[in-house]
Chains A and B, each alone.
Chain A
Amino acid sequence: MANDAPFKHNSKMMNRLDLTTRLVGKLKNDEAVIGGIGNSNFDLWNAGPRAQNFYMLGSMGLAAPIAFGVALAQPQRRVFALEGDGSLLMQLGCLATIANVAPKNLTIIVWDNAMYQITGSQKTASAGKADFVEIARGAGLAQSAWANDEADFERLIDATLAGDGPWFIAARIDGSTPKGQTPREPVAIKDNFMRGIAIKPA
């Protein structure tokens, strides 16, 4: 029942793991990636563990604020937040916060399958009226776009790796279930990330 309401745009329905893998494949300079709660985080793990990934457990909605803090602390490093639609809907205000500070090195990506997939596929507000790119633009993130298809997603990621942000990318995704889950080891996840970006000695 993903996206069974008429959509506000013509984006192709894609796959979260495929797009996450395409993103990670483009990261050649130890870019940081913050994976939001649940399937965003699990498919970041399934795309291949990286030392520069932070897999957020709990605190639903905070992937973008965490990525924002990392981006301010590490202005020379590009930082990506991966959020689900339900998570981002919980913290829409952070888009306005981030837009006003406007870190040039931050990209927020929302995987929109229009459902709370992990709890039984109940519909989110984006199954109905809400459009994330309209919301992001309204919050002040002028460089916001739906990825129309996989090639367009890659084009948008290339743009975020080449120019000045902040950027916001929304991708319409299917209801595929992640094949594996991130180990629930929050202290190890934190320590690995801080070593991965050389904040802690290896």
Chain B
Amino acid sequence: MDPTVDNAATWPDAIYVHFRRARIRQVGYVPDAGHSRLIQRCIDDPDIADVVLTTEEEGVGLVAGATLGGQRAALLMQSSGVGNCINMFSLIKNCGFPCLVLVTMRGEFGEFNPAQVPMGSITEESFRLCGFLTYRIENPDDVDEVVGAACDMAFDGNVPIAVLLSQRLIGRKVWSK
């Protein structure tokens, strides 16, 4: 793990609790520092198949396959990975698959890396164009309620939904330069 990332923040645990409650059995991810605590929770859970992907695109197929096979899945990625997925999201929209994506945002609040800005600044709009609902979280106290609602809408309401974990929430100071 990146020692410069603040893994003491406990809000990722609230996401994990909802993964358990929603009976999510497959979690695909391209690693991101802001997701590292949640990823470790999933790795440590024998009931969750944690799948490290080579590209976020694969994860869209994984979610579709999990649903076809009767399981629930979630994807973890950073905002740059959303751009990688766009054509693959046609599978979600055309077939009407549920899809839950948790995105750690870059390229916004206090970003130091200009390479993150172009994709980060269009992430939410891209999701909407692809037919996703989006929820944005700025405050750690909102994680539990918003992620719970997102899980319910994704799997009970059968809609694609993205939860954007803002750079302010993740903590802009923690990124190594």
Return B85 CB to nearest CB of chain A, in Å: 10
- B68 contacts A199, CB within 8 Å? yes
Interface assignment of A118: CB less than 8 Å from any CB of chain B: no
The answer to whether A62 touches B66, judged by C-beta atoms less than 8 angstroms apart, is no
Please indicate the chain B residues that have their CB under 8 angstroms from the CB of A100 in the complex.
52
Query: DSSP class of B's interface residues: helix, strand, loop or mixed?
Result: helix
Interface residues of A in 85-139 (CB under 8 A from B): 91, 93-94, 96-97, 100-101
| A65 x B54 contact (CB < 8 A) | no
Q: Is the CB of A62 within 8 A of B51?
A: no
Contacting residues of chain B (40-82) with chain A, CB-CB under 8 angstroms: 49, 51-55, 57-71, 73
B94 at the interface (CB under 8 A from A): yes
Q: What are the residues of chain A within 8 A of B60 when measuring CB–CB?
A: 59, 62, 65
Q: Are the C-beta atoms of B54 and A69 separated by less than 8 Å?
A: no
Find out whether the CB atom of B52 lies under 8 angstroms from the CB atom of A69: no
Minimum CB–CB distance for B98 against chain A, Å = 11
Inter-chain contacts of B73 with A (CB < 8 A): 69
Tell me whether A23 is interfacial, beta carbon within 8 Å: no
Please choose the segment from A11-19, A70-78, A149-157 that sits at the chain B interface, where 4 or more of its residues have CB less than 8 A away. Answer: A70-78
Given A62-B61, A62-B88: A73 and B97 interface contact (C-beta under 8 Å): no
Chain A contributes a number of interface residues (CB within 8 A of B) equal to 37
B25 interfacial contact with A, CB 8 Å: yes
Tier of interface size on chain B: 20 to 34
Closest Cβ of chain A: how far from B6's Cβ, in Å? 29
Question: Out of B52, B58, B94, B96, which one reaches A65, CB within 8 Å?
Answer: B58
Among A66, A186, A189, chain B packs the most CB atoms within 10 A around the CB of A66
Using a CB-CB cutoff of 8 Å, which residues 89-138 of chain B contact chain A? Answer: 90-91, 94-97
Whether the pair A93, B66 counts as a contact (CB closer than 8 A) is no
B166 within 8 A of A: no
Q: Are A68 and B88 in contact (CB under 8 A)?
A: no
Q: Quick check: is A56 within 8 A (CB to CB) of the other chain? A: yes
- Report whether A66 and B94 are in contact in the complex, using a CB–CB cutoff of 8 Å: no
Q: How far is the CA of A66 from the CA of B65 in the complex (A)?
A: 4
B88 touches A70 (CB 8 A): no
Which of A30-79 touch B at CB < 8 Å? 32, 34, 54, 56-74
| A-chain residues with CB within 8 Å of residue B55 when the two chains form the complex | 91, 93
Are A73 and B69 in touch, CB under 8 angstroms?
yes
Select one of A65, A101, A186, A189 contacting B65, CB under 8 A: A65
In the assembled complex, the CB of A110 is this many whole angstroms from the nearest CB of chain B, namely 16
Contact among A54, A60, A70, A91 for B58, CB-based, below 8 A: A91
**B131 to chain A: closest CB distance in Å?**
13
B26 within 8 A of A: yes
Jot down 20 A-B pairs with beta carbons below 8 A, ordered by A: A58-B90, A59-B87, A62-B58, A62-B88, A65-B59, A65-B62, A66-B64, A69-B71, A70-B66, A70-B69, A72-B71, A73-B26, A73-B65, A93-B54, A94-B58, A97-B52, A97-B54, A186-B94, A190-B96, A199-B68
| Chain A residues engaging chain B, CB cutoff 8 angstroms | 32, 34, 54, 56-74, 91, 93-94, 96-97, 100-101, 186-187, 189-190, 193-194, 197, 199
Q: A-B pairs with the 5 shortest C-beta distances?
A: A69-B65, A73-B69, A65-B61, A93-B54, A62-B61
Contacts A70-B69, A97-B58 given; 13 further ones with Cβ under 8 A? A58-B94, A59-B61, A62-B60, A65-B57, A68-B65, A69-B62, A69-B68, A70-B65, A74-B69, A93-B58, A190-B97, A194-B68, A194-B70
